[in-house]
Amino acid sequence: EVQLVESGGGLVQPGGSLRLSCAASGFTFSSYWMHWVRQAPGKGLVWVSRINSDGSSTSYADSVKGRFTISRDNAKNTLYLQMNSLRAEDTAVYYCAAYYDGFDPWGQGTLVTVSS
């Protein structure tokens, strides 16, 4: 079964850090560009970051540039998002997704809440 499973979300204080993981199974993870997309409570989908298949190229939304770092370990079929200097506006469900011709599959999402 093709599957992405995120983990690592939780409650963190403003200025804190969190590392999200996304474990892939059922497809050739190393062949796909991978992305993080987030959704604030009651809001729409917003692209966050992407990494190419071998990890040599990354890109970020302006809102997270310099604070978030995307990485991957193809040997472990796992995608990561290191989030530093977190702000209240980073509160959202974070989804990982594979991209070939559209985002498919998506993970189930992990909730990140930034609050004191």
Q: 47, 58, 67, 69: which one contacts other proteins (CB under 8 A)? A: 47
Cβ neighbours around 2 below 10 Å, total: 10
Q: Report in angstroms how near the CB of residue 71 gets to other proteins at its nearest.
A: 18
Cβ neighbours around 94 below 10 Å, total: 23
Total residues at interface with other proteins (CB under 8 A) = 21
Q: Which stretch binds other proteins (CB under 8 A): 14-22, 24-32, 38-46, 68-76?
A: 38-46
Contact 5, 108 (CB under 8 A): yes
Q: Report in angstroms how near the CB of residue 46 gets to other proteins at its nearest.
A: 7
Q: Which stretch binds other proteins (CB under 8 A): 13-21, 23-31, 75-83, 96-104?
A: 96-104
**Share in percent of the chain as helix, strand, coil (round to 5):** 5, 55, 40
